[in-house]
Amino acid sequence: MPAYVHINLRIIDPAKQAALAPRFQTALQEAGGRILYFGRVAQVLEGDNMPLPMAGVLEFPTLAQALAFYESEAYAPIKAERREAQQATMFVVETA
């Protein structure tokens, strides 16, 4: 069953974000994932909490693959750099 990683973020260092993006995309593809969306939040539909201005949705064939990517040695240095480049909230869901 597919799994989807949802990211809500604000870029705090555009230069670092731009430098890590190609490495992130390569590592993601090698782990079997793909970007379905990455861009601005269009509109808040419900809720009192304002989201960060950008959002992303990543798709993986399985929850196990999504979690393996997040914890992988290949992603570890990118994850550390990503935390310097952006403020983010991230979670994963699995479809039934």
- Full DSSP string of 4-54: EEEEEEEES-HHHHHHHHHHHHHHHHHTT-EEEEEEE-----S-SSPPPSE
Residue 46 domain-assigned (yes or no): no
| 89 lies in some domain | yes
Q: Give a yes or no: residue 27 inside a domain.
A: yes
48 lies in some domain:
no
Number of domains in the chain: 1
What pLDDT is attached to residue 68?
97
Q: Is 74 a member of any domain?
A: yes
* CB of 78 closer than 8 Å to CB of 72: no
Q: Are 60 and 3 in contact (CB under 8 A)?
A: yes
Q: How far apart are CA 36 and CA 58, in angstroms?
A: 6
Q: 58 in a domain, yes or no?
A: yes
55: tokens are 């959002």
pLDDT of residue 62: 97
Query: Which pLDDT value is given to residue 70?
Result: 97
Cβ(81)–Cβ(15) below 8 Å: no
Residue 86 β-bridge partners: 11
What type of residue sits at position 69? F
Q: For residue 47, is it within any domain?
A: no
Instruction: Give 51-96 pLDDT, tens digit per residue.
Output: 999 999 999 999 999 999 999 999 999 999 999 999 999 999 999 8
Give the model confidence (pLDDT) of 11-54 as tens digits.
999 999 999 999 999 999 999 999 999 999 999 999 988 899 99
Q: Please give the residue range of the domain that contains residue 88.
A: 3-40+53-94
